[in-house]
Chain A
Amino acid sequence: KAGVTQTPRYLIKTRGQQVTLSCSPISGHRSVSWYQQTPGQGLQFLFEYFSETQRNKGNFPGRFSGRQFSNSRSEMNVSTLELGDSALYLCASSLADIQRRESRDSYNEQFFGPGTRLTVL
């Protein structure tokens, strides 16, 4: 079974531009979560999509948005890029949404993609 894939792997943009990142989850997984990883802040949760609906959201400004398609693929968009948006953006997929309590271990387990390295100049 193929893992989580993210495109593009590397991206260079300038301040003020916008960017769209893509994530394809593991086949059968309906939940996709997005994270931002920086050396100073570590990994921070952006939002989660489940069955095309945003189910959970972290504490990020409205410039960060996303969507999920009927095939569970997800895109994340960042508008009006700032220097501080330079980071590794990771997506993760799981069978169930992250807030759901399941009796089976595997439902909540998150599997991560390789990430997209975004550099804002």
Chain B
Amino acid sequence: KQEVTQIPAALSVPEGENLVLNCSFTDSAIYNLQWFRQDPGKGLTSLLLIQSSQREQTSGRLNASLDKSSGRSTLYIAASQPGDSATYLCAVFSGGYQKVTFGIGTKLQVIP
């Protein structure tokens, strides 16, 4: 059974700081891993998708890495801004009945 864990559950940082969010999964036989952000009461916004054959993806100030062998992915946010405040979720796409497994998320607060 695939299990996805996100650490930390909550994070508060001053504006301008670089930060790393972690996502770990138990079954390394994954197809893709996708990072999302969710604002309160809203749907999910896709940030980055990493296919199983890739090691990292970059979009603007965001960089996501994937290490399948160790069951880990990290989301790096450079020069954080108050607008980055949201809950960040990682989703693992794999076989079996679960198909898609989400972590509980990391709630990020960037303080001006």
Contact = CB atoms under 8 A, between A and B. Distances in A.
Contact of A108 (B41, B89, B93): B93
B42 A114 contact: yes
The interface size bin for chain A is 20 to 34
B98 interface: yes
Interface majority SS (helix, strand, loop, mixed), chain B: strand
B31 A42 contact: no
B16 to A, nearest CB: 29
A110 B31 contact: no
Nearest to B100: A45
B46 A110 contact: yes
Interface in B71-96: 89, 91, 93, 95
A113 B36 CA distance: 13
Contacts of A102: 51
Contacts, number: 71
B42 A115 contact: yes
A112 interface: yes
Contacts of B102: 35, 42-45
A35 B36 CA distance: 14
B99 interface: yes
B63 interface: no
Contacts of B36: 112
Interface of A: 4, 6, 33, 35, 42-45, 48, 56-59, 90, 92, 98-99, 101-102, 105-106, 108-115, 117
Interface of B: 31-32, 34, 36, 41-46, 49, 51-52, 57, 89, 91, 93, 95, 97-105
Given A101-B31, A112-B43, 4 more contacts: A45-B101, A56-B99, A110-B91, A112-B44
